[in-house]
Amino acid sequence: MEAVCGKVALITGTTYGIGAAYVKDLFQNGLKACTMSDIDPKGQELADEMNCKYGEGKALFIQADAIQKDALECVFEKNMQTFKGLDIVVNNAGILRDSLWEQTIDLNIKSTIHGSLLGIKYMGKNNGGNGGTVVNTSSILGMQPCFGCPVYTGTKHFVIGFDRSMGSPFFFNLTGVKFLTICPGVTETPMVWDADKWTLQGFPGLGQELAALLQSMPTQTTQPIAEGLRKMLNEGENGSVWVGEDNMFYEVEIPDRKTFKKKIC
Ligand SMILES: NC(=O)c1ccc[n+]([C@@H]2O[C@H](COP(=O)([O-])OP(=O)(O)OC[C@H]3O[C@@H](n4cnc5c(N)ncnc54)[C@H](O)[C@@H]3O)[C@@H](O)[C@H]2O)c1
């Protein structure tokens, strides 16, 4: 049976792209209820569609800027008031906009931390909850350098380090909350369509370089990533990191840093 059956999820960034695909796929596979949140109010349309298809009141859309701490906390509070429980948090909202590098850090890093701590606040056994799962969003660029978007790349490296640390027995024994990381490869969403317009300013040609690089990599639709999220929720061990690239989805093993030492001939 699917791990999502009968569960309540809270997902950020659900109006477009990967977040919208998560909502559709999870409902299709037995999710009980979902709090969907996004800065773009058009996300209400998907909530209406889900309510029509799966039953009135199952999807709750809240317009919120995930960067704003109070607004994000309000999303969690409204979820608890409406659904009286929470099992899965997916911190998915993210931007690839190095020209707005402070905003990129605010969303990709700070709101991921905040959303994770709120996940523990509302699901943690240490806070009277039943435990649950937090899925944070990195990227294949969380595991390799990319000169086309160094700030974005740095934020996605952060997510892996944060999740592998939060996904330790110390936190789990206290909270019962698992931490999993999803690392999509290039996926056809609005984020990648205009990535070249948002590169670091002051470096002529960088946008074209990024566009060429993204075009040279294998692409996929959002569906394999949505299916991959379910696979992680079903099988993922605490602290595990998963890649979804070129229509394949698999767990990765990150080598011990002691094996990194450069060999001098
Ligand atoms: N598409 C890819 O190739 C790819 C690859 C690796 C990782 N990712 C990651 O996957 C996640 C989803 O990306 P996507 O490709 O679906 O992007 P997208 O731009 O298509 O969708 C992102 C969603 O987040 C919302 N959003 C943006 N800023 C927000 C804010 N401040 N508060 C709340 N919501 C906000 C947008 O309105 C949108 O609905 C991101 O974290 C991204 O970094 C995407």
Distance 16 CA to ligand 1 centre (A): 8
Nearest CA to 98 out of 160, 26, 155, 48 is that of: 155
Question: Which residue among 46, 189, 193, 217 has the greatest number of ligand 1 atoms within 8 angstroms of its CB, and so is best to mutate?
Answer: 189
Orientation angle between helical segments 111-123 and 150-166, nearest 10 degrees: 20
Give the model's confidence band at 3: pLDDT under 50 very low, under 70 low, under 90 confident, else very high: confident
How high is the pLDDT of residue 228?
98
Question: Which residue among 15, 18, 107 has the greatest number of ligand 1 atoms within 8 angstroms of its CB, and so is best to mutate?
Answer: 18
- d(CA 218, CA 198) in angstroms, rounded, equals 21
Give the model's confidence band at 2: pLDDT under 50 very low, under 70 low, under 90 confident, else very high: confident
Please give the positions annotated as active site. Answer: 152
Task: Map out the domains of the chain as residue ranges.
Answer: 8-253
* This model's pTM is above 0.85: yes
Q: Which residues contact 216 (CB under 8 A, 6 or more apart)?
A: none
Q: Is the dihedral of CA 151, 161, 94, 174 positive or negative?
A: negative
Q: Above 80 in pLDDT, residue 1?
A: no
Q: Above 90 in pLDDT, residue 8?
A: yes
* Ligand 1 atom closest to Cα of residue 103: 31
Averaged over 185-212, what is the pLDDT?
A: 96
How high is the pLDDT of residue 232?
98
Distance 51 CA to ligand 1 centre (A): 23
- d(CA 50, CA 57) in angstroms, rounded, equals 9
How high is the pLDDT of residue 49?
98
Q: Where are the alpha helices (DSSP H) in the chain?
A: 17-28, 43-54, 69-83, 101-105, 111-123, 150-166, 169-175, 190-193, 206-216, 223-235
Site of tokens 């692409």: 219
Q: Above 80 in pLDDT, residue 258?
A: yes
Distance 121 CA to ligand 1 centre (A): 24
How high is the pLDDT of residue 178?
98
Q: Above 90 in pLDDT, residue 197?
A: yes
Give the model's confidence band at 265: pLDDT under 50 very low, under 70 low, under 90 confident, else very high: confident
| 56 SS3 class | coil
Q: Quote the CATH superfamily of domain 8-253.
A: NAD(P)-binding Rossmann-like Domain (3.40.50.720)
For ligand 1, say whether the CB of 95 is within 6 Å of any of its atoms.
Answer: yes
Give the model's confidence band at 17: pLDDT under 50 very low, under 70 low, under 90 confident, else very high: very high
